[in-house]
């Protein structure tokens, strides 16, 4: 049996949060349903942030209410603080993704909190989960490879947060290249350092493709033994607080690369391409993912 790589679809959250066009709640729900029909089993569906700051993420409770729990599927809510955790619990999300920025410069602009304040909030959320119950918690360290305001981010900076997450006994840790500055060699070194600092903690990687290195970084992660990667259908996305950052690696690009190499992802490539065409049509743009433009291979649809 081929090795399975789990792809976490972040399009309904990371993919939409930086778009100028605002989708209606029913359109967001349809996007989620289309992605699940295409094979998504873990997905960031909502973000519990202030809709005044990120209007694209409005309607988190309504979207969650329209998605009843389903066997084998996990709908993830993004959480920045205890207020977000409370909303995530009330909405019945299957997982909570708690974000901690690796720099004060980014954290204050993105979340209105320093690294120290964010780590403290993460510890409180994890402690509440262990004491009171709640969904699994994954911690994403954003700007883990570089910050648009402070420049290079040292390994030591990242590892302080890694150790704090491990001490809090979270369920999974993600390293995010939020602005797309990483290279495959740095990715491998940071994975190795993270594993040393937090042995046994499940690791996930999140790459934006701002400088066209996203797939190379995903390849380096798989070669280093990582089995969970984030991606966004159509290559949509970006952070509204990260100047010029573009979307995540396209889900269809990642699926194509992995399955051509013999890995299993559980996704239907043609359904992903159709979904990318549909959602980018709503947004008034073209997919940035290459496979949505070129198709798979061997060709399964007529060439233009």
93, 101, 147, 239: the catalytic one is 239
Closest CA to 142 of 168, 170, 169, 104: 104
Is 239 an active-site residue? yes
Show which residues are catalytic: 239
């Amino acid at each position: 049996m081929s090795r399975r790589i789990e792809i976490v679809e972040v399009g309904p959250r990371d993919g939409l949060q930086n778009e100028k066009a605002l989708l209606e709640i029913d359109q967001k729900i349809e996007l989620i349903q289309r992605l699940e029909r295409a094979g998504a089993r873990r997905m960031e569906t909502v973000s519990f942030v202030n809709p005044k700051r990120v209007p694209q993420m409005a309607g988190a409770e309504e979207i969650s209410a329209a998605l009843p729990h389903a066997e084998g599927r996990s709908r993830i809510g993004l959480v920045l603080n205890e207020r977000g955790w409370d909303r995530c619990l009330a909405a019945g999300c299957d997982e909570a993704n708690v974000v901690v920025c690796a720099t004060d410069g980014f954290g204050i602009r993105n979340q209105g909190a320093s690294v120290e304040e964010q780590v403290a909030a993460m510890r409180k959320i994890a402690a509440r989960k262990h004491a009171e119950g709640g969904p699994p918690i994954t911690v994403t360290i954003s700007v883990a490879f570089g910050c648009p305001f402070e420049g290079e981010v040292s390994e030591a900076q990242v590892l302080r947060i890694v150790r704090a997450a491990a001490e809090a006994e979270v369920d999974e840790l993600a390293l995010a290249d939020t602005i797309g500055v990483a290279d495959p060699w740095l990715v491998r070194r940071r994975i190795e350092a993270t594993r040393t600092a937090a042995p046994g903690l499940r690791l996930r990687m999140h790459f934006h493709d701002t400088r066209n290195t996203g797939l190379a970084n995903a390849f380096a992660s798989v070669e280093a033994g990582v089995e969970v990667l984030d991606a966004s259908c159509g290559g949509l996305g970006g952070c509204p607080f990260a100047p010029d950052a573009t979307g995540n690696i396209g889900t269809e690009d990642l699926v194509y690369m992995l399955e051509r190499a013999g890995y299993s992802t559980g996704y239907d490539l043609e359904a992903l391409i159709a979904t990318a065409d549909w959602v980018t049509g709503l947004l008034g743009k073209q997919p940035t993912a290459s496979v949505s433009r070129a198709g798979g291979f061997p060709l399964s649809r007529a060439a233009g």
